Amino acid sequence: MTHLSKRGHMKRTAGELAEYLGAKLSGDAHAVVSGVASPETARAEDLIYLDSARHRDRAASSAARTVIARSDSGLEGKTILEVADPKFAFTKAAASILDEPAPPAGVHPTAIVSATARLGEGASVGPYVVIEDDVSIGARTAIEAFSFIGRGSRVGENCRVHPRVTLYPGVRLGDRVQLHSGAVIGGDGFGYVFGEGRHWKFPQIGSVEIGDDVEIGANTTIDRGSLEATRVDTGVKIDNLVQVAHNVQIGEHSVIAAQSGVSGSSTIGKHCVVAGQVGIADHCRLDDGAVVGAQAGIPTGKTIRGGQIVWGTPARPLDRFKEQYARFARLPELAERVRRLETSTNRR
């Protein structure tokens, strides 16, 4: 199979992309693809996709010569890469063509790097970065401007730490992790015990362990465990402005959307979906495959079963939520009916 580089902006032929994607090719195998775009903005060498018949006219009128589509697309005059899931194939193709090039290897003269830090081959350290004692940075990892890597932290290979990211001491990152600007990993959890008339801080001496292929959005915070570790497993994607508290465990390939909060000692299983502005209280559990709708609230200690879809506050199964919401919307009408009945009864 033709190797498609994961670095830089590259030109490929439709035939090479078909081989890479495992797609059936219909049309010109030598058609050049050098970018991706929407149908309306595409140039001749851009790749577009069609995943719904209602958008066929957009694709047909596009300047793009190459389209990813299903076998029944009905497009004519284009080179078609036929796949079962056009959006996924388009995403995979785009990643191979447009992935950002790594910053140049080396240490910027304004960076402060401890003599005991270890930098892998091809690592990049940007302007005004601070790297403390006993830090390990993997090969081809980029630490960008103004970021701080606390003592004893470990950052894997091919990671991208964007500007102004903070890693507190002892954080562990796997390979191919992306941390976007303003992310803070490893701060103290919000743990206090009240006694003798004041709040005493419970020890926050654990760590944060982040697996391979994790992406964490801008201004998201992940607290260290109190006595053990907060863990984010392989393939997890966390949006901007998310708070993950101490001792939380997030399973493989789960996703959490913006402005959600996960309280201490809660567990999110594998392949879960947490939509925007969800609040998860402490000691909750989401079993594998659970889905939590936007702005839902999960009370302390509640378990959401695997594959269940819940919504509302307190969170409940989607069908039940819809039924109750429909009835809630009728409350003004029902209140008026009750008022009339009461008035009628009082007149008798």
Residue 88's CB is within 10 A of a number of other CB atoms, namely: 14
**Rounded Cα distance, 93 and 112, in Å:** 38
Residue 190 amino acid letter: F
- End-to-end CA distance of the chain: give it in Å, rounded: 88
Residues contacting residue 146 through CB under 8 Å, at least 6 positions apart: 126, 127, 128, 129, 163, 164
Give the bridge partners for 125, in sequence order.
107, 143
Tokens standing for residue 247: 């001792």
Active-site option among 162, 246, 253, 271 = 246
Tokens at 161, concatenated: 């730490």
Res 234: pLDDT? 98
Please write down the HEC assignment for all residues of 306-339: CCCEEECCCCEEHHHHHHHHHHHHCHHHHHHHHH
Domain ranges of the chain: 12-98, 106-321
Token reading at 31: 């058609």
Q: Which residues pair with 48 in a beta bridge?
A: 67
Q: Among the residues of the chain, which ranges form H helices?
A: 14-21, 56-61, 86-98, 318-329, 331-347
Rounded to the nearest 5°, which phi and psi values hold at 128?
Answer: 60, 20
Model pLDDT, residue 341: 84
Structure-token pair, residue 236: 């997890």
pLDDT for res 9 = 60
Tokens of 309: 């879809």
Residue with tokens 């964490």: 216
Class of domain 12-98: alpha beta
Contact between 58 and 41 under an 8 Å Cβ cutoff? The reply is no
Active site residue 246: yes
How much is the pTM?
Answer: 0.87
Residue 153: count of CB within 10 angstroms of its CB: 25
Tens-binned pLDDT, residue by residue, of the chain (348 aa) = 333 334 446 889 999 999 999 999 999 999 999 999 999 999 999 999 999 989 999 999 999 999 999 988 889 899 999 999 999 999 999 988 887 777 899 999 999 999 999 999 999 999 999 999 999 999 999 999 999 999 999 999 999 999 999 999 999 999 999 999 999 999 999 999 999 999 999 999 999 999 999 999 999 999 999 999 999 999 999 999 999 999 999 999 999 999 999 999 999 999 999 999 999 999 999 999 999 999 999 999 999 999 999 999 999 988 888 778 787 788 888 888 888 887 877 766
CA atoms within 13 A of residue 289's CA, in its CB half-sphere:
4
Q: Which amino acid is at 197?
A: G
User: How far is the C-alpha of 297 from the C-alpha of 2, rounded, in Å?
Assistant: 48
Domain 106-321: which CATH class? Answer: mainly beta
What pLDDT, on a 0 to 100 scale, did the predictor assign at position 98? 85
